[in-house]
Amino acid sequence: MENLVDRFSNDFMAFVKARDPNQVEFHQAVQEVVESLAPYLLDNPKYLRMKILERLVEAERIIQFRVPWLDDQGNVQVNRGFRVEMNSAIGPYKGGLRFHPTVNLSIMKFLAFEQVFKNSLTSLPMGGGKGGSDFDPKDRSDQEVMRFCQSFMTELYRHIGPNTDIPAGDIGVGGREIGFLFGQYKRLRNEFTGVLTGKGIEWGGSLVRPEATGYGLVYFVGEMMKARQETLSGKVVAISGSGNVAQYAAQKVIDQGGKVVTLSDSAGFIHDPEGIDRDKLAFVFELKNIQRGRIREYAEKYGCYYQAGKRPWSVSCAVALPCATENEIHREDARLLLANGCQVVAEGANMPCTPEAVHEFLRAKILYAPGKAANAGGVAVSGLEMAQNNMRLNWTREEVDGRLQTIMKTIHEMCGKYGRQPDGWINYVNGANIGGFVKVATAMLAQGVV
Ligand SMILES: NC(=O)C1=CN([C@@H]2O[C@H](COP(=O)(O)OP(=O)(O)OC[C@H]3O[C@@H](n4cnc5c(N)ncnc54)[C@H](O)[C@@H]3O)[C@@H](O)[C@H]2O)C=CC1
Ligand SMILES: O=C(O)CCC(=O)C(=O)O
């Protein structure tokens, strides 16, 4: 069986790589899934006969388009826009938009592929998609961001809709961008629908959507630790990033009595051994969401350590929550975290750990949760926003937060169902991949060769 599994995985990856040789991030995401699924597929040949995996790695549709816009000096700028509509077997395409200079088709496809499994795990009826642009909102004025968003939506609007494809935020796309995108969609279509999630509360948004990814991550960590009769209370927590996911993860860790000692951005990280308390976190919210400044300014204000060009994984911690971007924990970082006593790693970002780092965590049998399980709270509350839009009513904060907690608990149970080893330890990678696969594959089998 061992050899058969390896041969199957290697052959399948050779097939994927031959089709798109340069899409390294996409290969990385597929490889992780294939390694988990191979034994399950070999035991269930109906999926092999119907080429479910071959269909899953081929997007149903990819849209690539030109985004021309005028900057504040009146110069014409041209960016590239994408929407990858990966799989709609269990619901309309759903997933965020990323505006970042590194965006390319490989990154869009890896994110859309991950989204299919993640959305399935939420137990809500959402297919998977992802989109974005190589536009960099950093250092752009609000007017420039608005003109860019309007141009982006002027092409995207014809491909999306509340029952077709519902984008949301991701890196570089927050409330401001969703507002501009929604305004242009409404103007072009002449209809007010729940076509985007992450909307403002006054115009169709859901309470708790801004907090949902970070809060959901911490709820998931709570479930993982419960099995070891532990909680976050008193634990030292290292967080990377300082955007949406990092901010609300930090807030919930502090609420639960944990001590957050690091944050970062693309320029470096801060280490505050005293802990980032509520007042200091309020400064970070203001710095990042209003001033749009750099995390270095936190160290300048509070007189703590800042290191440029590095990530926070050398800092001793019990829990690590990578919440910035992909491939930010490498093998050496993983070894350092383990050597310093880290026992829990849960991914707020999508694919922040390289495959070598993941193998280190799995070999050490710590509690390690991949993003498609641990950060699914964001898209789950997006699904709840869609439900509220369809009913034309708003749930209370308690109602949405309660449902989010239940969803994260259910995802955790799903990981246990498919990932628990004979010694009781849960391989969350296998659990999330198989758990996410089964529902989508069952729907695909039922719907014929489409
Ligand atoms: N916003 C959401 O609801 C969800 C986001 N995610 C993932 O969480 C991660 C963070 O997203 P958000 O917080 O929404 O974005 P954001 O734009 O609010 O924040 C991104 C953060 O990452 C940092 N960053 C960006 N590039 C970096 C680099 N090369 N090195 C170090 N830091 C870098 C930024 O400085 C910022 O702190 C991403 O991987 C995203 O795909 C996952 C699920 C849902
Ligand atoms: O809320 C959504 O639809 C998008 C969330 C997202 O992009 C993600 O889960 O990575």
SS (H, E, C) 196-245: CCCCCHHHCCCCCHHHHHHHHHHHHHHHHHHCCCCCCCCCEEEEECCCHH
Quickly tell me which residue has 């259910």 as its tokens: 410
Q: Is 36 annotated as a binding residue?
A: no
What order do you get walking across the sheet with 344-346 strand by strand? 305-308, 268-271, 259-265, 236-240, 319-322, 344-346, 367-369
For residue 244, give the ligand nearest its CA.
1
Q: Look at residue 358 and tell me whether its pLDDT is greater than 80.
A: yes
What is the per-residue pLDDT across 268-295, written as a single tens digit (0 to 9) for each? 999 999 999 999 999 999 999 999 999 9
Q: In this predicted structure, what is the pLDDT of residue 61?
A: 98
Half-sphere exposure of 201 (CA within 13 A, CB side): 9
Catalytic-role residue among 109, 130, 259, 288: 130
In angstroms, what is the span from residue 108 Cα to ligand 2's centroid?
A: 12
Is 122 touching ligand 1 by the criterion CB < 6 Å?
Answer: no
Q: What is the mean pLDDT of the chain?
A: 98
- 316 CB-contact burial (10 Å; exposed 0-12 / middle 13-18 / buried 19+): middle
Cα 349 to ligand 1 centre (Å): 6
How far is residue 373's CA from residue 436's CA, in Å, rounded to a whole number?
A: 9
Residues in the chain: 450
Question: Residue 158 is which amino acid?
Answer: R
Ligand 2 midpoint to CA 340 (Å): 32
Q: Which residue has the tokens 């989109």?
A: 131
**9-49 residue pLDDT tens:** 999 999 999 999 999 999 999 999 999 999 999 999 999 99
How far does the centroid of ligand 2 lie from the alpha carbon of residue 213, in Å? 9
Structure tokens at 287: 């710095």
User: pLDDT by residue (tens digit) across 371-411?
Assistant: 999 999 999 999 999 999 999 999 999 999 999 999 999 99
CA nearest to 368, candidates 438, 410, 430: 430
* Beta-strand pair 259-265/236-240: parallel
State whether the beta carbon of 170 lies less than 6 angstroms from ligand 1: yes
Active site annotation includes 138: no
- Amino acid of residue 2: E
Q: What pLDDT, on a 0 to 100 scale, did the predictor assign at position 1? A: 58
Partners of 106 in the β-ladder: none
CA atoms within 13 A on the CB side of 68: 3
pLDDT given for residue 449 in this prediction: 96
Q: In whole angstroms, give the CA distance from residue 444 to residue 446.
A: 5
Ligand found nearest the CA of 199: 2
pLDDT digits (tens, 9 = 90+) for 93-137: 999 999 999 999 999 999 999 999 999 999 999 999 999 999 999
In the predicted model, is pLDDT for residue 2 greater than 80? no
CA 214 to chain centre: 10
- pLDDT score recorded for residue 304: 98
Q: How many CB atoms sit inside 10 A of residue 338's CB?
A: 16
Cα separation, 327 vs 106, in Å, equals 14
- The per-residue pLDDT for range 206-260, each reduced to its tens digit, is 999 999 999 999 999 999 999 899 999 999 999 999 999 999 999 999 999 999 9
What is the reported pLDDT for 404?
Answer: 98
Residue ranges around ligand 2 (CB below 6 Å): 94-96, 115, 118, 168, 170, 197, 350, 378-379, 382
β-partners of residue 374 are none
pLDDT 10s digits, 163-201: 999 999 999 999 999 999 999 999 999 999 999 999 999
Provide the percentage of residues in the chain whose pLDDT is more than 90: 99
For the Cβ of 350 lying below 6 angstroms from any atom of ligand 1, the answer is yes
In contact, 238 and 315? CB cutoff 8 Å: yes
Q: Is 94 annotated as a binding residue?
A: yes
